[in-house]
Amino acid sequence: MKKLWKRSILLCVSVLFLAVFVVPKAHAVPAFGRTMGADCTACHATPTWQLNQTGLDFLRNGHRTDHKAFKAEDIKWDNYLSLVWKFRAYNTDHPATNAGGKSQFEQHSFSIYTGGALSDRFSYFTEMYLSENSSNTASGSQSDSARKKLAEAFLQYNLPIGETNFVAFRAGEILPEIIHTFGVGARSIEDRAQIFNSTTNSANPYKPFFRSQGVDAKFNSEHVEATVGVVNGAATYTNHIDTNNHKDMYASLQGNVDKNGSAIGLFQYQGTHSTYATADNSSTFLSFNNEFSKTLALARYVHDKFRIVAAYMTGKEHQLVSSVDTETKNKGYFGLVDFNFTESLGAFARYDMLDPLDTDAYSETKLITVGLNGMLYMSEKSGARWNLELSDKKVSASSATTAEVETKKIMAQLTWAL
């Protein structure tokens, strides 16, 4: 344990040296920045990276400056295509699997982001991974979507209502936008909050972060955003068709508080996940059926230098396993603060709690994450960013006869984008 934290301190000092003596001022961002003709600070609070009001508007408009903005001469790959590479180094101390610490280098991912306006009404967005390592490197493994995946891809149509309001229709592999903007998309901490990125039922793969195939419609105005969506539902792997014919539904309502991007919101998801005796064959015996719901209350306060984000989740699950009906409830929350000292150096802290079964005192996850962000360089065509995260994760006993499990981790990441 002591060795892990000695390594952590050494790495912190090294990264701070880079931040102070190596990092220049940021100047621009790839692709979307080139489309806007602006630097990275136009859309992001650098280097912690969360979207400001301009960035939020750019996203909801369909990756364009205005919901009707379009110039045919702007359609060129330099404005529509970015390549992103991530490399990680981490040390994990887990008493059950690697007591004393385990160090790894990981070429985490190489991905393609492309999107923008196709006409005055249509736009698109696609996120593709040519390679992604999700900590599973077994030969032939499909558990991390076989490394290569089409993570998100949709066509968007904007229907103007008056001069400033519009309804955006999306179809494809979609992520609810309110989940994106409250902590899943551009963010200071690489590891997403537990309530977004963890399951609450071991037999149901659903997470609020999941992208699903379907359609949604979102009303956009200055003060209010409201969305309804219909999707296939959670599947075991990305782009894998859900195992039943039931369509999941979600809805969200967001109130925009100020011109900086501060907002409050509600998100509701209603879904069903099923497993059959013969995989993907609904005519065979129904071995597992989980009817579930998730409700999230979300809030963020955005300032020029810092951001505070918080969310609370409650969930209900009614499941049938081998003809036995049970009902359970779950809950979780997180609170995040990040601060930009300069355009090249920022810091963050987040506390997470997730309780997949709130009727007993077992299996709660509590996670504390702190760290730093910085820009290595930024030019008109490309840029690089570093993250340093220290985390302490505690999972309470799963029963009266087991012990709490604590995992300490330090992770450093380099991200390069063109």
- Which residues sit opposite 272 in a β-bridge? 291
The residue type at 204: N
**91: CB partners within 8 A, 6+ apart:** 4, 7, 8, 101, 102, 103, 104, 409, 410
In whole angstroms, give the CA distance from residue 235 to residue 252.
22
Contact 365, 339 (CB under 8 A): no
Q: What is the pLDDT of residue 282?
A: 75
Tokens of 15: 């990264």
Closest of 288, 357, 362 to residue 325, by C-alpha: 288
Closest of 46, 326, 89 to residue 55, by C-alpha: 46
Contact 230, 261 (CB under 8 A): no
Domain 2-417: which CATH class? mainly beta
Q: What is the pLDDT of residue 45?
A: 85
In whole angstroms, give the CA distance from residue 280 to residue 110.
31
**139: CB partners within 8 A, 6+ apart:** none
Q: What is the pLDDT of residue 343?
A: 87
In whole angstroms, give the CA distance from residue 47 to residue 51.
11
In whole angstroms, give the CA distance from residue 121 to residue 160.
9
Q: In a structure prediction context, what are the per-residue pLDDT tens digits for the chain, which is 418 residues long? A: 455 445 554 544 444 444 444 333 333 335 676 666 666 777 888 888 899 999 999 999 999 999 999 988 888 888 899 999 999 998 988 766 665 667 889 999 999 999 999 999 999 999 999 888 865 544 444 454 446 788 899 999 999 999 899 999 999 999 999 999 999 998 999 999 999 999 998 888 999 998 999 999 999 999 999 999 999 987 766 667 776 778 999 999 999 999 999 999 999 999 999 888 877 777 788 888 999 999 999 999 999 899 999 999 999 999 888 778 899 999 999 999 999 999 899 999 999 999 998 777 678 999 999 999 999 987 777 889 999 999 999 998 766 667 788 999 999 999 999 8
**340: CB partners within 8 A, 6+ apart:** 45, 46, 47, 48, 305, 306, 346
Residue 381 sits at the vertex; the CA angle it makes with 77 and 65, to the nearest 5 degrees, is 65
**263: CB partners within 8 A, 6+ apart:** 254, 255, 256, 257, 298, 299, 300
Q: What is the pLDDT of residue 6?
A: 54
User: Is the backbone of residue 49 left (phi > 0), alpha (psi -120 to 50) or beta?
Assistant: left
In whole angstroms, give the CA distance from residue 120 to residue 130.
31
Q: What is the pLDDT of residue 28?
A: 33
Instruction: Provide the sign of the torsion angle of the four alpha carbons 135, 141, 142, 145, taken in this order.
Output: positive
Residue 289, Cβ neighbours under 10 Å: how many?
19
Q: What is the pLDDT of residue 138?
A: 47
Residue 167, Cβ neighbours under 10 Å: how many?
16
Query: Hey, is 94 helix, strand or coil?
Result: coil
pLDDT digits (tens, 9 = 90+) for 150-169: 889 999 999 999 989 999 99
In whole angstroms, give the CA distance from residue 235 to residue 241.
6
Closest of 415, 302, 257 to residue 55, by C-alpha: 302
Contact 408, 89 (CB under 8 A): no
Contact 174, 328 (CB under 8 A): no
